[in-house]
Amino acid sequence: MNDKKLIITGLVVFLMIVLFPFWYNRGKAVPPPEVKLTDKAKAAKECVLSKEYMRAEHMQILDLWREAVVRGGQRVYTNPKGKEFVMSLSNTCLDCHSNKADFCDKCHTYNSVRPYCYDCHIEPPKEKS
Amino acid sequence: MDTSRRHVLQLLGLSAAALAAPPVLDALAAGPPAAESKIGPAKGALTAKQWAMVIDTRKFKSEADVRPLVEACHSIHNVPHWDEKRWEIKWLWSTKYESAFSGTASGRFGPEALEDRPFLVLCNQCENPPCVRACPTRATWKREDGIVMMDFHRCIGCRFCMAACPFGARSFNYRDPRPAIKQTNKLFPTRMKGVVEKCSFCAERLAEGKKPACVEAAGGKLAFGDLFDAESEVRKLIRENYTIRRKINLGTEPAVYYIV
């Protein structure tokens, strides 16, 4: 244990480097994103399933839909309330949520999620504001 | 420490209970809300045991008769158009008699009428598709209605299917197709770089009760129906006319018939 000084200095330097981002960003929490609903989505009141479920699990239902449509050839989804939807990302989801930049991308960017859906599926053209 | 038989048995019992608990608890926990929802086909969807097509080649005189059909197909499916031949993507196209029926065409001296006639070629939706067997990810498979379907999500771009297909019906996206699509159809997705694509007998239109786009655009030159239904339009045409199919000696049983 003759290298006590060296080891402790090393540890301190290591901790400083590791903890630097926390120190640097202290008190600067990025506000959580607020998604904007289109008028059409507001008028519909409820999505395919409840808002809470959609917010947390929409990727699950998208996966279910993809499986059903592409591999099962089934195209109509009936929700627990008996309302029917054609299972399509571009034509059903994005029909209501036509503001991808203010709706989908807001949370995805915040959470650093990069879904590759839109490599193929066509997103609605940007609305003129 | 003394370990009695009773003690060991107790421990075993407890461990078994602990192992069994999570699945039971999971089952007891609230299931996904999706449990009550239903998934089904759209009303009026067309179904069959094996979809098939009959092409009346006698009614195709020149390229001008073929172009609107190809245009109809390629525009609704967002098929890119590359001028560079090696990047070409084809779902439906036309070729010469001796190319379409190489190995069976009479070769040197054939009937004059067939020489200039354009032959529409597309995926044959084989009854025994070799591409399906070649695919390592099951991105392509045979549906119950006979369509050899592609799942673009699952395609890894290995191109085994292209090597397996004796008809060259599959194309590979060597580049991002989007810049080469003149006008995108918003109702249908595009593909991405590194994915194989081909004709799907317009599975998305059949699901809405519509016939394939080329059949609709052909105005009677093409017929479409169930091969295993003796009363269907295609069976009637096959019964009443002399038809040929491409490369039947390979045993893939193509479902596209040509009246010559």
Q: Report the CATH number that the domain containing residue B164 is assigned in CATH.
A: 3.30.70.20
- Residue B208 Cα, gap to closest chain A Cα (Å): 9
Mean pLDDT of A102-125: 90
pLDDT digits (tens, 9 = 90+) for A3-32: 899 999 999 999 999 999 999 988 887 788
A68 has a chain B CB within 8 A of its CB: yes
**Res B230 pLDDT > 90:** yes
For chain B, percent of residues with pLDDT exceeding 70:
93
Give residue B55's pLDDT band: very low, low, confident or very high (50, 70, 90). Answer: very high
**Res B47 pLDDT > 50:** yes
According to DSSP, the residues that pair with B38 across neighbouring strands are: A78
In a domain, B23, yes or no: no
In a domain, B163, yes or no: yes
Buried b (16+ CB within 10 A) or exposed e, A97-125: bbbbebbbbbeeeeeeeeeebbebbbbee
In a domain, B167, yes or no: yes
**Distance of alpha carbon A113 from alpha carbon A111, whole angstroms:** 5
Among A33, A34, A61, smallest CA distance to A47 is for A61
In a domain, B115, yes or no: yes
- Residue A43 Cα, gap to closest chain B Cα (Å): 22
Q: What is the pLDDT, as a whole number, of residue B46?
A: 94
In a domain, B3, yes or no: no
pLDDT digits (tens, 9 = 90+) for B20-37: 877 766 666 655 544 578
Chain B residues touching chain A at CB-CB below 8 Å: 32-34, 36-43, 45, 141, 143-145, 149, 151-153, 184, 186-187, 189-192, 203, 207
Averaged pLDDT score across all residues of chain B: 91
A59 has a chain B CB within 8 A of its CB: no
Q: What is the pLDDT, as a whole number, of residue B32?
A: 53
CA A72, chain centre distance (Å):
26
CB atoms within 10 A of CB B44: 9
Instruction: Give me the number of domains chain B comprises.
Output: 1
Contacting residues of B for A57, CB less than 8 Å apart: 32
Q: What is the pLDDT, as a whole number, of residue A128?
A: 42
In a domain, B37, yes or no: no
Domain of B161 in residue numbering reads as 51-259
Number of H helices, E strands in chain A: 5, 2
Mean pLDDT of B194-211: 95
**Res B111 pLDDT > 90:** no
Q: What is the pLDDT, as a whole number, of residue A127?
A: 47
In a domain, B2, yes or no: no
Provide the whole-model pTM. 0.81
In a domain, B111, yes or no: yes
Greatest mean pLDDT among A22-26, A125-129, B111-115, B138-142: B138-142
Look up residue A89 and give its DSSP letter.
Answer: I
ipTM of the complex: 0.79
Averaged pLDDT score across all residues of chain A: 89
